[in-house]
């Protein structure tokens, strides 16, 4: 195990505690897994048919083809695009779920849900080109939902997905069309990838990878509709001050940790926790119910409600070592099965809620939009019951929590900028980029990974880029890392930003009434909310009449691990952004694939992958990519 597995200060208390209690951490399991399979690391292992598994000898001494004749490039490309398809499927299921809920809301109403943000609903209707005059909110919501669901149903491959075509600049759409990577139907594209990678189908790695890019753009489609419809139902994030890290748990409260992704579950539980607060007090918790968030659900409720974020991906099961979490309630994605076994060492209720995401050893309370209130009540009451069983002697809450100013949707960024220039809100940002006060924009996203020190790569790269006057946006567990480690405060802006960036953040922050700078890292939300950054970039590109790929905008996922991150990184490339990944990807055994993704992509899309595990070197490469784009623009 590396000397220190995490830079998160909470881990200084909890990792040794795990050792003392004999409870396994992800890092213990990582150590047991060493050495990890070299063929798998290089991606040259194929299990697509049962003649296999086949593996290619990377040293050129053994087999150079699978039993069917597939080369390393074909094997790796097939594996890679299946990952893109899985990522797209995960996000798009989330999006579909929200769209279906909105459809039901529009058709017959749902007790637990409403359109909380009518302004956003109207703006979505306008984006989608729908009629709003003389129509009720419910009618408009229904049409927005049905239009969104078209992106899962359209069979005419000559028309692109609606949400994609309505949210990207015309120049980029032309480019995607000319490259043949426009998705027309999310489900169809995912099915296409699974079909073309079946044994005995496509065996051309370039064509496979282009098919994968289309899958990644289907992923973007599912994400943007998930974000936008969620905003209409639950509110568009506005700046809010809250706290992050495990010190947000309260000794004298019933602590409910909401974990997963979909706000359809977390929002209702937050509402129910408020309603049942007195029951918790009566059960002996003087501070009532304390809801905290984990991973992307944590980001969703943090931005919309100011609910504190407890932790991010890699420390999710260790969080249970605090002995103070009474229930961890999960829905879908990024949930370590280990929470059930660690939870069983404590009084904690681990509650799964989705019929196709159960975990052996956890309690399952099936949740649906129709009976959301009843089920949320059951879940909160189970949490209160668990609190009664909590052993105070085993409570170890780290005294670590940071202030976090969060809530930077496109709408709230534009609103803040409009305080500087009401007529043309984007102008101050564009002027700052053109003058070089802001050198460029970097979006940090993605997961944590046991292969690198928890949260460390995020922090190392960001400090370098801030000092060089790069504006930083963040989502997902990256944003979680920054929030927990104190990068979302005004003091951090003063400490880490270069002079000219600090000047811009101070001008905007002061105009917006913050009496000082905006935080140096702007938290835009969960992973699906990466689409918010695209909305900002598209607005900039349109204002400058350039393509997305011309902008000095880069993306970075320094600690990525999931198939969703593969998919997001791929659409970032397809949209024209140089995209850093800090983990050596499972493609390096296929030189042809590596070339397409790191070199040829640049010519085709303007975006390309920059694999670089060393965070300092990565910061340098990202900055270089920004400067190259600036040069291209002549600024
Ligand atoms: Ni996104 Fe990674 Fe997961 Fe969210 Fe966190 S691990 S790809 S950041 S919770 S989706
Ligand atoms: Fe081996 Fe080809 Fe089957 Fe893959 S598809 S397991 S390379 S025979």
101 pocket-lining for ligand 1 (C-beta < 6 Å): no
pLDDT score for 4: 85
406-633 shares the fold of 72-234: no
Instruction: Please report which ligand is nearest the Cα atom of 259.
Output: 1
Instruction: Please report which ligand is nearest the Cα atom of 219.
Output: 1
Chain centre distance of CA 430: 26
Residue 262's alpha-carbon distances to 98, 177, 181, 247, 258, in angstroms, are: 8, 31, 28, 24, 10
**Tokens standing for 326?**
């009474």
Give DSSP secondary structure letters for 48-72: SSTT--EE--TTSSS-SS-TT---H
Atom of ligand 2 nearest to the CA of 49: 3
Atom of ligand 1 nearest to the CA of 297: 9
pLDDT score for 3: 63
Residue 279's alpha-carbon distances to 12, 78, 472, 620, in angstroms, are: 34, 54, 42, 54
- Secondary structure (3-state) at 159: coil
- For ligand 1, atom 3: residue with the closest CA: 334
608 pocket-lining for ligand 1 (C-beta < 6 Å): no
- 593 C-alpha vs ligand 2 centroid, how far in Å? 18
Atom of ligand 1 nearest to the CA of 87: 7
Pocket test for ligand 1, best of 244, 565, 566, 583 (most atoms within 8 A of CB): 565
CA distance 175 to 380: 50
3-state helix, strand, coil in the chain (%, to 5): 55, 10, 35
Atom of ligand 2 nearest to the CA of 47: 6
Give DSSP secondary structure letters for 594-629: HHIIIIIHHHHHS--EEE---HHHHHHHHHHHHHHH
DSSP 8-state secondary structure symbol assigned to residue 359: -
Contact 546, 522 (CB under 8 A): no
Task: Spell out the residues 6+ positions from residue 564 whose beta carbon is closer than 8 angstroms to its own.
Answer: 86, 87, 90, 91, 219, 333, 527
DSSP 8-state secondary structure symbol assigned to residue 285: -
Q: Nearest CA to 503 among 402, 625, 405, 420?
A: 420
Q: Tell me: the pLDDT tens digits for 518-551? A: 999 999 999 999 999 999 999 999 999 999 999 9
Atom of ligand 1 nearest to the CA of 527: 1
Task: Spell out the residues 6+ positions from residue 477 whose beta carbon is closer than 8 angstroms to its own.
Answer: 295, 296, 312, 313, 314, 334, 446, 447, 448, 527, 559
The residue behind tokens 């049962």 is 50
562 pocket-lining for ligand 1 (C-beta < 6 Å): yes
- 70 C-alpha vs ligand 2 centroid, how far in Å? 7
DSSP 8-state secondary structure symbol assigned to residue 527: S
Low-confidence spans in the chain with pLDDT less than 50: 1-2
91 pocket-lining for ligand 1 (C-beta < 6 Å): no
**φ, ψ at 201 (rounded to 5°):** -105, -125
- For ligand 1, atom 10: residue with the closest CA: 527
- For ligand 2, atom 7: residue with the closest CA: 66
User: Where in 117-232 does DSSP place strands (E)?
Assistant: none
Angle at 90 between CA 86 and CA 93, to 5 degrees: 130
Instruction: Please report which ligand is nearest the Cα atom of 94.
Output: 1
Q: For residue 45, what is the enclosing H or E element?
A: strand 45-46
Instruction: Please report which ligand is nearest the Cα atom of 559.
Output: 1
- 64 C-alpha vs ligand 2 centroid, how far in Å? 12
pLDDT score for 618: 98
Give DSSP secondary structure letters for 207-253: HHHHHHHHHHHHHHHHHHHHHHHHHHHH-----EEEEESGGGS-TTS
* Residues flanking ligand 2, CB < 6 Å: 46-49, 51-54, 66-68, 70, 75, 199
- 366 C-alpha vs ligand 1 centroid, how far in Å? 23
- For ligand 2, atom 6: residue with the closest CA: 52
Q: Tell me: the pLDDT tens digits for 282-296? A: 999 999 999 999 999
- 214 C-alpha vs ligand 2 centroid, how far in Å? 24
**φ, ψ at 320 (rounded to 5°):** -70, -20
- For ligand 1, atom 8: residue with the closest CA: 476
Query: Which CATH number is 246-394 given?
Result: 3.40.50.2030
Domain segments of the chain: what residues?
A: 72-234, 246-394, 406-633
Instruction: Please report which ligand is nearest the Cα atom of 68.
Output: 2
- 42 C-alpha vs ligand 1 centroid, how far in Å? 23
- 199 C-alpha vs ligand 2 centroid, how far in Å? 7
- For ligand 1, atom 2: residue with the closest CA: 447
Domain 72-234 CATH assignment equals 2.60.40.1190? no
What architecture (CATH level 2) is domain 406-633? 3-Layer(aba) Sandwich (3.40)
Instruction: Please report which ligand is nearest the Cα atom of 65.
Output: 2
Q: What pTM does this model have?
A: 0.97
């Amino acid at each position: 195990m590396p000397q220190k597995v995490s830079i998160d200060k909470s881990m200084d208390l909890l990792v040794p505690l795990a050792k003392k209690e004999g409870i396994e951490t992800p890092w213990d399991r990582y150590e047991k897994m060493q050495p990890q399979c070299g063929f798998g690391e290089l991606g040259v292992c194929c299990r697509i048919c049962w003649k296999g598994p086949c593996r290619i000898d990377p040293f050129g001494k053994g087999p150079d083809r699978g039993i069917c004749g597939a080369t390393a490039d074909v094997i790796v490309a097939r594996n890679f695009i299946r990952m893109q398809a899985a990522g797209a499927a995960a996000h798009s299921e989330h999006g579909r779920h929200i769209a279906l809920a909105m459809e039901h809301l529009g058709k017959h109403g749902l007790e637990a849900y409403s359109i909380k943000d009518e302004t956003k609903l109207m703006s979505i209707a306008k984006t989608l080109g729908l009629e709003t005059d003389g129509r009720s909110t419910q009618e408009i919501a229904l049409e927005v939902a049905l239009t969104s669901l078209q992106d899962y149903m359209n069979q005419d491959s000559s028309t692109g997905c609606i949400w994609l075509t309505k949210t990207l600049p015309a120049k980029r759409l032309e480019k995607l069309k000319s490259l043949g990577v426009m998705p027309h139907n999310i489900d169809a594209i995912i099915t296409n990838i699974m079909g073309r990678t079946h044994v005995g189908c496509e065996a051309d790695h370039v064509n496979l990878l282009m098919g994968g890019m289309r899958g990644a753009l289907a992923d973007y489609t599912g994400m943007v509709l998930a974000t936008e419809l969620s905003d209409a139902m639950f509110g568009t994030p506005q700046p809010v001050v809250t706290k992050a890290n495990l010190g947000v748990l309260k000794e004298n409260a019933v602590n409910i940790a909401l974990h997963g992704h979909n706000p359809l579950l977390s929002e209702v539980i937050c509402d129910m926790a408020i309603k049942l607060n007195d029951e918790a007090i009566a059960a002996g918790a003087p501070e009532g119910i304390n809801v905290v968030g984990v991973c992307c659900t944590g980001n969703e409720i943090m931005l919309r409600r100011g609910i504190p974020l407890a932790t991010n991906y890699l420390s999710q099961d260790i969080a249970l070592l605090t002995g103070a979490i009474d229930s961890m309630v999960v829905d879908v994605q990024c949930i370590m099965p280990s929470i059930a076994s660690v939870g069983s060492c404590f009084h904690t209720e681990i509650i799964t809620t989705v019929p196709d995401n159960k975990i052996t050893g956890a309690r399952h309370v099936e949740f649906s939009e129709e009976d959301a209130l009843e089920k949320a009540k059951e879940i909160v009451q189970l949490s209160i019951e668990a609190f009664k069983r909590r052993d105070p002697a085993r409570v170890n809450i780290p005294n670590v929590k940071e202030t976090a100013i969060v809530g930077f949707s496109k709408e709230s960024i534009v609103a803040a900028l409009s305080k500087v220039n009401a007529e043309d809100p984007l102008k101050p940002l564009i002027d700052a980029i053109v003058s070089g006060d802001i050198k460029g924009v970097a979006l940090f996203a993605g997961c944590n990974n046991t292969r690198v020190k928890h949260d460390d790569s995020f922090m190392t790269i960001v400090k370098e880029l801030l000092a060089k006057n790069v504006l930083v946006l963040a989502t997902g567990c990256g944003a979680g890392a920054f929030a927990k480690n104190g990068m979302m405060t005004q003091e951090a802006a003063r400490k880490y930003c270069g002079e000219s960036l600090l000047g811009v953040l101070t001008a905007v922050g002061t105009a917006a009434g913050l009496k000082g700078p905006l935080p140096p890292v702007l938290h835009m939300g969960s992973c699906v909310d990466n689409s918010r950054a695209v909305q900002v970039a598209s607005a900039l590109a349109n204002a400058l009449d350039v393509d997305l790929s011309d902008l000095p905008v880069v993306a970075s996922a320094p600690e990525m691990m999931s198939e969703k991150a593969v998919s997001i990184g791929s659409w970032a490339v397809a949209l024209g952004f140089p995209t850093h990944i800090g983990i050596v990807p499972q493609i390096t055994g296929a030189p042809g694939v590596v070339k397409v993704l790191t070199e040829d992509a640049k010519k085709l899309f303007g975006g390309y992958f920059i694999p670089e595990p060393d965070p300092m070197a990565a910061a340098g490469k990202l900055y270089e990519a920004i400067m190259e784009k600036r040069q291209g623009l002549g600024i």
